[in-house]
Structure 1
Amino acid sequence: MSMLNVFHVAGSALNAQSLRLNTTASNLANADSITSSNGQPYKAKQVVFAATPMAGPGAQGVRVTQVVESAAPMRMTYDPKSPAANAEGYVALPNVNVVEEMTNMISASRAYQTNAEVMGTAKSLMEKTLAIGQ
């Protein structure tokens, strides 16, 4: 794999992890929202990744294929005085699990940082290679 392919692969990972971080931030920001823009409780979103061929032979990057809503059930809390309560007095809250989202954010942040370091190391190696040729 050429050094330029390293930049393509790491760059694709940076883009994917950036979207993952933004999605996680959106989930955390809406963790206690009773309604979203469509009038229903907010549904947690998850990013789906897939391998994608890159410029060189054997080089595989990553891309986001879609952002899907979580299939987890909504959290139900009893609050009969709420205007959003159903006939039994329960209010449907977002299906965002804050602990899982924080874990996801730490994982995405570390993956982003690692790929940024890969790009930095590749740049340093290219500079040293060029210095040898001078």
Structure 2
Amino acid sequence: MDFSDTMGISAAGMRAQAKRLQIAAENLANKETTGATAGSDPYRRKTVTFKEVLDRTSGVSSVDIKEVGQDQTPFETRYDPSHPAADANGLVKMPNVNAMVEIMDTHEAQRSYEANLNTMQITRSMMTRTINLMK
């Protein structure tokens, strides 16, 4: 493995974690987004699945987004007969977004992003030192 492989792996990790942060932010932003009509479904929480990607020429593995899916946990209901999305019983389906889960996911993604960034910075420093030694 050479320096460019290390940089590529770190960059792939940063892209994957950035997407994960984007999805968590979208989930948090839609935490209260209900359906528009009576009985309609509210916003459904999105999930991110990663996959390992192998570069056959270099033999190096990295990460990529496999899919952005939807969390199939059931919706909770809230009694609010005046809401436009309330059913005949006055119940409104609420999104299946848990703010604590999303915040913890953002913290974990941030730490992973920072670890990849640190790896890139250390690799860059090593490359600079190697070039200086060759002078």
- TM-score normalised to the size of structure 1? 0.93
Deviation at 1:65, TM superposition (A): 1.1
Q: Which runs of 5+ in 1 are unaligned?
A: none
Residue of structure 1 equivalent to 2:13: 13
Q: Which runs of 5+ in 2 are unaligned?
A: none
Are 1:49 and 1:65, in contact at CA under 8 Å, matched by a contact in 2?
A: yes
Partner of 2:87: 86
What is the deviation of 1:29? 0.3
Moved beyond 2 Å, runs of 4+: none
Contact 1:44 1:94 in 2 (8 A): yes
Residue 81 of structure 1: how far off its partner (Å) = 2.0
Letter in 2 for 1:56: S
Aligned to 1:116: 117
Distance in 2 separating the partners of 1:68 and 1:129? 44
Contact 1:2 1:56 in 2 (8 A): no
Structure 2 counterpart of 1:101 = 102
Of the structure 1 ranges 2-11 and 81-90, higher mean CA displacement relative to structure 2 is found in 81-90
Cα distance in 2 for residues equivalent to 1:75 and 1:85: 13
Whether 1:62 and 2:63 are equivalent positions in the alignment is: yes
Residue 74 of structure 2 aligns to a residue in which SS? Answer: coil
Q: Say if 2:127 is the partner of 1:126.
A: yes
Q: Which amino acid aligns with 2:76?
A: R
Equivalent residue pairs, number = 131
Q: CA RMSD in A?
A: 1.3
- Whole-Å separation in 2 of the counterparts to 1:34 and 1:2: 50
Identity %: 31
